[in-house]
Amino acid sequence: MSTKRGVLYGIGVGPGDPDLITVKALDILKRVPHIFAAASSKNEYSLAQNVVLKHLPDAQVEQLSFPMTKDKDTLVSAWKANANRTLEFLNSGTDAAFVTLGDPMTYSTFSYLHRTIKQMVPDLRVIIVPGVTSYHAAASLACTPLAEGEESFHLVSGVRNPSRLREILETSENVVVLKTYRSFDDIRRTLEESNLVDRAVCVMRCGLEGETVLQDLRSLTSEQMPYLSLIIVKRKGIGP
């Protein structure tokens, strides 16, 4: 008789504050025998892992390396290696979870693992548990609604091209920019040119040590911006 393959769980653990993990996520993590977390190859530090260990200090968490590069071949071979490592457990009948910061279906390494592993094993059973996103936590911290009434809301990550950001700012009432550390100086300049710099708020390290909410974007430079930073822009202005 062949072994029944394990289930892969994609688990969002929230934006970093251990209290923002869901009850459902924690229940699954308590019973899954093996947990994976993403670690960047440049930084062997997984915040998602820290959230898990805060609740389950004895949990087995293995880091999978997702290189921070644009080189497609390097990326594809890392995704395949991570998928194969995960399949070693699943194929032996063991359930496994992959934990990710925020929500697993929003700019998350989980989507790469999920896509690659589903190409290898199309009938694999996958259960995904949503997480509180960074920008939902940041909007609450800054007491700023993300959208009201019939307003639109645009989420974008690391806009390197200022004309693209200008276009987004012209067409959406509310804009959230993730990965602002990449090109903050350009983002600030574009906000200034669009007369929106006073209608933006920057949230850094939301729910973590060093948490900062800053409305004066003019005083900030790219170098001061940690990886965990985002900007909320509202045409009507920041605040309730």
Ligand X SMILES: C[S@@+](CC[C@H](N)C(=O)[O-])C[C@H]1O[C@@H](n2cnc3c(N)ncnc32)[C@H](O)[C@@H]1O
Binding site for ligand X (CB under 6 A): 15-16, 101-103, 106-108, 133-134, 138, 178-179, 203, 205-208, 227-230
Toward ligand X, which CB reaches closer, 82 or 134?
A: 134
Nearest in space to 41 (alpha carbons), one of 60, 62, 64: 64
- What SS3 state is found at 201? strand
Query: CA-CA distance, 17 to 63, in Å (whole number)?
Result: 20
Read off the tokens for 16: 């970093």
User: Could you tell me the smallest distance in angstroms from the CB atom of residue 181 to ligand X?
Assistant: 6
Instruction: Give the list of residues 6+ apart from residue 26 with CB closer than 8 angstroms, or none.
Output: 55
> 171 φ, ψ to 5°?
-105, -15
Nearest in space to 204 (alpha carbons), one of 220, 188, 185, 187: 220
User: Could you tell me the smallest distance in angstroms from the CB atom of residue 115 to ligand X?
Assistant: 15
Toward ligand X, which CB reaches closer, 89 or 100?
A: 100
* CB-based contact 233:169 (threshold 8 Å): yes
Residue type, 64: L
Query: CA-CA distance, 9 to 97, in Å (whole number)?
Result: 4
User: Could you tell me the smallest distance in angstroms from the CB atom of residue 47 to ligand X?
Assistant: 8
User: Could you tell me the smallest distance in angstroms from the CB atom of residue 20 to ligand X?
Assistant: 9
Toward ligand X, which CB reaches closer, 11 or 228?
A: 228
- What SS3 state is found at 234? strand
User: Could you tell me the smallest distance in angstroms from the CB atom of residue 3 to ligand X?
Assistant: 33
Output the residue with the shortest Cβ distance to ligand X: 102
Toward ligand X, which CB reaches closer, 35 or 178?
A: 178
Toward ligand X, which CB reaches closer, 158 or 237?
A: 158
